[in-house]
Amino acid sequence: MANTSTIAAARTVAVAAKPKRAPLVTLATLNTIAKNLIPPVVVLIAFLVIWELLCSRPGAGLPPPSRVVTEAWDIIAHPFYDNGGTDKGLFWHISASIQRVALGFALATVVGILTGTLIGQSEWAMRGLDPIFQVLRTIPPLAWLPLSLAAFRDGQPSAIFVIFITSIWPIIINTAVGIRNIPQDYRNVSAVLRLNPLEFFSKIMLPSAAPYIFTGLRIGVGLSWLAIVAAEMLIGGVGIGFFIWDAWNSSHISEIIVALVYVGIIGFILDRFVAFVGTLVTRGTATA
Amino acid sequence: MTYLSIENVGISFTRSGRTNEVLRDVSVKIDKGEFVSLIGHSGCGKSTVLNIVAGLLKASTGGVLLEDKEVNSPGPDRAVVFQNHSLLPWLTVRENVALAVDKVFKGKKSRAERSAWIDHNLSLVNMTHAADRRPSEISGGMKQRVGIARALAMEPKVLLLDEPFGALDALTRAHLQDSLMDIHARLKNAVIMITHDVDEAVLLSDRIVMMTNGPSATVGEILRVDLERPRRRLDLVEDATYTHARAEVLEFLYARHAKPAIAA
């Protein structure tokens, strides 16, 4: 008798506890989501409202967000259209820009890591190259454009070169620091094993310097994206930079604003992408 | 025949015009299968001796002969177990050992043989269960085991241990000392171990090389430990030979060559 009553009591407790516990968990998750989501949404709405208010006055220089959406609805709704020439949807402009960045950045990655390794490994190379690099890296990306146009006589390779030369410096410098910071222990291990220089490079240097290299790559990809828009404004052709310049020349201010939103989001994605690859590659390395 | 001979080794470092002699006339002869400890106060150049034998440092005078051939560059015939394990953190336990095995036995063993050899060495140090973990995921004692496995897997003529258990707690240390004795009994490598733990030196060694204090440190005295193997630490606690050897080393370190108070 006593037994059954305890079981019954236990059952009621369980029944009572069950529906209580389930929503508690979802509430907590909702809570964390809300915590992360509400502030940016609120700020964004506030920003749009202020913008709307400021730019709705007659004689305002820039269109309010409501007008941006109505005026530029064509390019927002149809990013994939292609009427030939430079009359294409935003998707095509952006993918052209990304292709240039990918090519220039890939070149910069390879050359930057190799040069950085050389500087990190050899005191002589460091002394010789470092002062030159310190001067070269302060040159603004666009200042290279006339020179590369003169050398390549074509817009496409010139733009890629500008990306290359913009993003290579942080890659070189960070790689060199990473290589210089390889613990002596790892060098000893490779000495005892008699690893040849190629094995040492691939099995010790690269993984050990990877966290530094990825810091450089992340800065580099950000700089490339900054440079590509400016470079494309000057060289023309298909590309988001040209699109913005073309919109300005046709006084389509709303289209410029839409394009800027795209540029910002793509830049953010590029940065996160490199960071993501970095965490994949350097897993384990950071925690020795 | 002497297997490994350290002959009149001296080394000086020159920094900003001032030459500092660290070692002078260090001579030790080691037989095949012998376990020798180097003991001395910190800063006396024990590690420097080991690094010279390993080939990681070049002696200014004298040299090292292994089977009557001079050695002056690092190589897998003198594998080192470093004090801080120096496992590569981006590789798993197995990959760390594999790096050594694949490099040393490339062309001498087939892929399958190499793989079996890796497994064998991991099981030798009881690390098979954690083969796929990364160094950051295992304890300090386990890391040191893997370091030992990596060194043993190179089939070294001489195994060099640089304070291998210095960073471990006392219980783990005792456990690893037992494993090391066991492995040494089976493989019969010549071993040079650096330590500043008197009990460890007496328990493990055939001979204990006691070093004087630097600068210009050298071999002060060599003590033979005539204890039968296998040795069991519990049996030795009250063993006369053991206590006597222990007393001798302590006397050398703290009475005759006490560390000057200034250099703490």
Query: Which tens digit of pLDDT belongs to each residue from B131-149?
Result: 999 998 999 889 998 999 9
Instruction: Give Cα B61 to chain centroid, integer Å.
Output: 22
Tell me which residue in B55, B78, B89 faces A287 most closely, judged by beta carbons. B89
User: To the nearest whole angstrom, how far is the Cα of A195 from the nearest Cα of chain B?
Assistant: 7
Say if the Cβ atoms of B88 and A189 lie within 8 Å: yes
Residue A197 contacts B where some CB pair is shorter than 8 Å: no
Bridge partner list, A88: A82
Query: Which tens digit of pLDDT belongs to each residue from B71-128?
Result: 889 999 999 998 888 899 999 999 999 999 999 998 899 999 999 999 999 988 889 9
Chain B contact probe: residue of A185, A186, A187, A193 with most B CBs at under 10 A: A193
Let me know the angle formed at the C-alpha of A159 by A154 and A165, rounded to the nearest 5 degrees.
125
Residue B86 contacts A where some CB pair is shorter than 8 Å: yes
Query: Which tens digit of pLDDT belongs to each residue from A178-202?
Result: 999 999 999 999 999 999 999 999 9
Chain A residues near residue B73 by CB distance under 8 angstroms: 191
Q: What is the DSSP string of B113-179?
A: HHHHHHHHHHHHTT-GGGTTS-GGGS-HHHHHHHHHHHHHHT--SEEEEESTTTTS-HHHHHHHHHH
Instruction: Specify the amino acid at residue A84.
Output: G
- Give the number of other CB atoms < 10 A from CB of residue B41: 19
Residue A166 sits at φ, ψ, to 5 deg, of -75, -40
Counting Cα atoms < 13 Å in the Cβ hemisphere of B85 gives 23
Chain B residues near residue A195 by CB distance under 8 angstroms: 103
- Give the number of other CB atoms < 10 A from CB of residue A74: 13
Q: What pLDDT does A111 receive?
A: 97
Say if the Cβ atoms of B84 and A287 lie within 8 Å: no
Q: Quick check: A230 and A158 in contact, CB under 8 A?
A: no
Cis peptide bond N-terminal to B230, omega within 30: yes
Residue B79 contacts A where some CB pair is shorter than 8 Å: yes
Strand-pair category, B207-211 with B4-15: unpaired
Q: CA-CA distances (angstroms) from residue B2 to A179, A211, B69, B201?
A: 41, 47, 11, 22
Instruction: Give Cα A139 to chain centroid, integer Å.
Output: 22
Nearest alpha carbon to residue B25 among B44, B6, B2: B6
Instruction: Give contacts of B 49-68 with A, CB under 8 A.
Output: 54-56
Closest-CA residue of chain B to A194: B75
Query: Which tens digit of pLDDT belongs to each residue from A224-244?
Result: 999 998 899 988 888 999 999
Q: What pLDDT does A269 receive?
A: 95
pTM: 0.79
Query: Which tens digit of pLDDT belongs to each residue from B43-84?
Result: 888 889 999 999 999 999 999 999 989 988 999 999 999 888
Q: What is the DSSP string of chain B?
A: --SEEEEEEEEEEEETTEEEEEEEEEEEEE-TT-EEEEE--TTSSHHHHHHHHHTSS--SEEEEEETTEE--S--TTEEEE-TT----TTS-HHHHHHHHHHHHSBTTB-HHHHHHHHHHHHHHTT-GGGTTS-GGGS-HHHHHHHHHHHHHHT--SEEEEESTTTTS-HHHHHHHHHHHHHHHHHH--EEEEEES-HHHHHHH-SEEEEEPPSSSB-EEEEEE----SS--HHHHTT-HHHHHHHHHHHHIIIIISPPPTT--
pLDDT range class, residue B260, cuts 50, 70, 90: low
Q: Quick check: B243 and B50 in contact, CB under 8 A?
A: no
Mean pLDDT of all residues belonging to chain B: 89
Give the integer Cα–Cα distance in Å for B37 and B161: 9
Q: CA-CA distances (angstroms) from residue B151 to A53, B55, B72, B86, B108?
A: 73, 15, 19, 11, 18
pLDDT at residue B247 above 60? yes
Reading chain A (288 residues) residue by residue, the pLDDT tens digits are 444 444 444 444 444 444 445 566 678 888 888 888 899 999 999 999 999 999 888 888 889 998 888 888 888 888 888 887 778 888 999 999 999 999 999 999 999 999 999 999 999 999 999 999 999 999 998 999 999 999 999 889 999 999 999 999 999 999 999 999 999 999 999 999 999 999 999 999 999 999 999 999 999 999 999 999 889 998 888 899 999 999 999 988 999 999 999 999 999 999 999 999 998 888 755 543
Residue B90 contacts A where some CB pair is shorter than 8 Å: yes
Residue A288 contacts B where some CB pair is shorter than 8 Å: yes
Chain B residues near residue A200 by CB distance under 8 angstroms: none
ipTM of the complex: 0.86
Q: What is the DSSP string of A112-138?
A: HHHHHHHHHH-HHHHHHHHHHHHHHTT
Instruction: Specify the amino acid at residue B55.
Output: G
Chain B residues near residue A185 by CB distance under 8 angstroms: 82, 84, 86
Give the integer Cα–Cα distance in Å for B260 and B264: 8
Q: What pLDDT does A244 receive?
A: 92
Q: Quick check: B190 and B34 in contact, CB under 8 A?
A: yes
User: To the nearest whole angstrom, how far is the Cα of B142 from the nearest Cα of chain A?
Assistant: 14
Residue A132 contacts B where some CB pair is shorter than 8 Å: no
Nearest alpha carbon to residue B189 among B104, B96, B113, B77: B77
Q: What pLDDT does A136 receive?
A: 92
Say if the Cβ atoms of A193 and B104 lie within 8 Å: yes
Q: What is the DSSP string of A141-188?
A: GGGHHHHHHHHH-SHHHHHHHHHHHHHHHHHHHHHHHHHHTS-HHHHH
pLDDT at residue B262 above 90? no
Query: Which tens digit of pLDDT belongs to each residue from B154-186?
Result: 989 999 999 988 878 888 888 889 988 988 988
Contacts of residue A166, defined as CB under 8 A and 6 or more positions apart, other chains included, come to A104, A108, A141, A144, A220, A223, A224, A226, A227
Count the helices and strands in chain A (H runs, E runs).
Answer: 12, 0
pLDDT at residue B6 above 50? yes
Q: What pLDDT does B215 receive?
A: 83
User: To the nearest whole angstrom, how far is the Cα of B101 from the nearest Cα of chain A?
Assistant: 9
Contacts of residue A215, defined as CB under 8 A and 6 or more positions apart, other chains included, come to A170, A174, A278
Chain B residues near residue A210 by CB distance under 8 angstroms: 90
- Give the number of other CB atoms < 10 A from CB of residue B168: 18
Residue A192 contacts B where some CB pair is shorter than 8 Å: yes
pLDDT range class, residue B258, cuts 50, 70, 90: confident
The residue that leads in pLDDT, A127 or B237, is: A127
Provide the phi-psi class of B217: left if phi over 0, else alpha when psi is between -120 and 50, else beta.
beta
Say if the Cβ atoms of A194 and B75 lie within 8 Å: yes
Residue B102 sits at φ, ψ, to 5 deg, of -65, -35
Strand-pair category, B219-224 with B207-211: antiparallel
Say if the Cβ atoms of B56 and A207 lie within 8 Å: no
Residue B88 contacts A where some CB pair is shorter than 8 Å: yes
Q: Is A88 helix (H, G, I), strand (E, B) or coil?
A: strand
Bridge partner list, B64: B6
